Amino acid sequence: MVYQILVSDPLSEDGIQPLRKADGVEITIQTALTPEQLAEKIHEYDALLVRSQTQVTRDLISKATNLKVIGRAGVGVDNIDLEAATEFGVLVVNAPDGNTNSAAEHTMAMIMSLARNIPQAFHALKHNKWDRKSYVGVELKNKTLGVVGLGRIGAEVAFRAKGQRMNVKAYDPFLTEEKAKKMGIGYGTLEEVLQSADFITVHTPLLKETKHLINQKAFEQMKDGVQIVNCARGGIIDEEALYQAIVTKKVAGAALDVFEEEPITDHKLLELPEVIATPHLGASTKEAQENVAIDVSKDVVTFLTGGLARNPVNLPSVPKEVMNKIEPYFHLSEKLGIFLTNLTQEAMEEVNIYYAGDLTDVEVSPLTRNTVKGLLKRHLGDHVNDVNATYLAEKKGITINEHKTSSSKGFTNLLTVEVRTNLGTRSVAGTLLNGLGARLVKVDDYSVDVIPEGHMVFVRHKDQPGAIGRVGTLLAKELVNIATMQVGRSNVGGDAIMILTVDKHLEKEGLEQLKQLSDIYGVTAIDL
Ligand SMILES: NC(=O)c1ccc[n+]([C@@H]2O[C@H](COP(=O)([O-])OP(=O)(O)OC[C@H]3O[C@@H](n4cnc5c(N)ncnc54)[C@H](O)[C@@H]3O)[C@@H](O)[C@H]2O)c1
Ligand SMILES: O=C(O)[C@H](O)COP(=O)(O)O
């Protein structure tokens, strides 16, 4: 299998070497496609690599019938419809660390340029004007820098601003007073930061909650003559409110690397002498571009070849040590899901997954997703994967509950999956036996010992002499060879089950004949 990868934005050639060197992948670089051209050819690709230009819309994703992963060589994923990607089972990975340094340096360059009017003075000089009076600046020393969003870049900017002897005061919903103290910076609410800063720099992602975070009301709270920097995302600052704040002299200057609409060349903010700007250059350094392209290329290849991506955006990331512990259970968890879905004829309302023994002290959400994938696959096919399994279940109104329990019934580890429908509850449990692999150990209330593999026939019957023989004879007549058989009963003469593993899939006709045998209540063919 050769995976086809399309690179639709300019990526560092050195950075995509992991892709070039990987076996089984073929890269196409086409960075000048129109949205229509991209939509036309996207079905040919297994992976798409982008920066911030390519708009990965729901419409595009819906046409990407072979797409498995979208790699964003950078941080911001606001150009990718994450909900659509999740719904269509497409993993999104990004490169969150590779451009932090460059973005922080660019922010500092903007702050310094603002303080000393460097772009304006340079522009005048280029136009033959030796003007020293108009460009008197301010020092950064002892000024307060308000940092809104103290993540990777915000924290690097804070660190550098301290080097300029600025006082830093930050607001971030995850920032505590203690953490701020450790970093040697001040801590405040958004309002307090806005009220006390001489320079304000924003470093949040663009989200519903951060759209126009810096709006007219926010400008009103600021000091007169404040200077504003946005090297994060256009839209965090309300551009119209910023324009008004500058023309009314509330804001003395603004440095913008990003805009609500990009690319943009004729914007009324750009006409103001107080505004300096760059065309989204925060991450545009040789180093950052190489870093992000390497990170995202590695993740895309790892994921395509069955590994676990380091920087998933629409899946929680799982630390390697945790993954090492839970990886052996993946096979079992999916098989339990597939087995149980075959026993469940009615619509699932609730799924309870119980983890016991060794599984109680590790993060198990990847196993939960894998089990749910197994449960949904029978009706939704291969379209279900680890990315969209729980999303699709929720969309179908199925509640998924994860439980850790001390009741491991004597097994060192036990995974029990229970499905509730309007007719009652069905359940199946499995364990991983040291050196022997996975086993089904319980189906409903019956204890069994079955390898969850291959073709199976599950029979519910009355515990009567001859019932087992009649099933065996009929299967022999259908030329279906029985490999193993497990029986269980509630009490003598009561309800009983048989789980047969057989050498080939039992066809519908044979299944119907089995159902007609006396003392048989139900028969299900299960292919694991
Ligand atoms: N100009 C560029 O070329 C360039 C380069 C890299 C990153 N970026 C952008 O910079 C931004 C920050 O990137 P990062 O890597 O530091 O991200 P990050 O996720 O490390 O940090 C973002 C921080 O914002 C905080 N936050 C979220 N909502 C907030 C709110 N309402 N108020 C205050 N803080 C809030 C989060 O808690 C988090 O700590 C992103 O928008 C990213 O896309 C731009
Ligand atoms: O979010 C980011 O990583 C930056 O905005 C960089 O965007 P770019 O890859 O288009 O330069």
466-486 burial by CB neighbour count: b if 16+ within 10 A, else e? ebbebbeebbeebebeeeebb
Residue-level pLDDT at 396:
87
Element (H, E) at 477: helix 467-477
The mean predicted confidence, pLDDT, of the chain is 94
Q: Is the peptide bond before 465 cis (omega within 30 degrees of 0)?
A: no
Collapsed DSSP state (helix, strand, coil) of residue 225:
coil
Asked if residue 386 has pLDDT above 90, the reply is no
Is the CB of 450 inside a 6 Å radius of any atom of ligand 1? no
Contacts 24+ apart (CB under 8 A), 522-526: 522/459, 522/460, 523/457, 523/458, 523/459, 523/460, 524/342, 524/343, 524/457, 524/458, 525/342, 525/455, 525/456, 525/457, 525/458, 526/338, 526/339, 526/342, 526/455, 526/456, 526/457, 526/458
Mean pLDDT of 472-494: 88
Integer Cα distance of 392 and 405 in angstroms:
26
Collapsed DSSP state (helix, strand, coil) of residue 431:
strand
Side-chain-side CA neighbours of 97 within 13 Å: the count stands at 5
Q: Which of 3.40.50.920, 3.40.50.2300, 1.10.3730.10, 3.30.70.260 would CATH assign to domain 455-528?
A: 3.30.70.260
Assigned CATH class of 100-277: alpha beta
Using one digit for the tens of pLDDT, what is the confidence trace for 50-66? 999 999 999 999 999 99
Is the CB of 71 inside a 6 Å radius of any atom of ligand 2? no
Residue-level pLDDT at 380:
82
Residue-level pLDDT at 135:
97
CATH of domain 3-97+287-304: 3.40.50.720
Integer Cα distance of 473 and 459 in angstroms:
14
Collapsed DSSP state (helix, strand, coil) of residue 335:
helix
Asked if residue 46 has pLDDT above 80, the reply is yes
How distant, in Å, are the alpha carbons of 454, 461, 471, 512, 525 from that of 522?
Answer: 20, 7, 12, 10, 10
CA-based Rg of the chain, rounded to a whole angstrom? 31
Q: Does domain 318-453 have CATH number 3.30.1330.90?
A: yes
Of 280, 292, 294, 296, best ligand 2 pocket probe by most atoms within 8 Å of the beta carbon: 280
Is the CB of 76 inside a 6 Å radius of any atom of ligand 2? yes
Asked if residue 47 has pLDDT above 90, the reply is yes
Element (H, E) at 189: none
Domain boundaries, the chain: 3-97+287-304, 100-277, 318-453, 455-528
Catalytic residue positions? 233, 262, 280
Using one digit for the tens of pLDDT, what is the confidence trace for 269-320? 999 999 999 999 999 999 999 999 999 999 999 999 888 788 889 887 778 7
Q: Do domains 3-97+287-304 and 455-528 have the same CATH topology?
A: no
Using one digit for the tens of pLDDT, what is the confidence trace for 82-131? 989 999 999 999 999 999 999 999 999 999 999 999 999 999 999 999 99
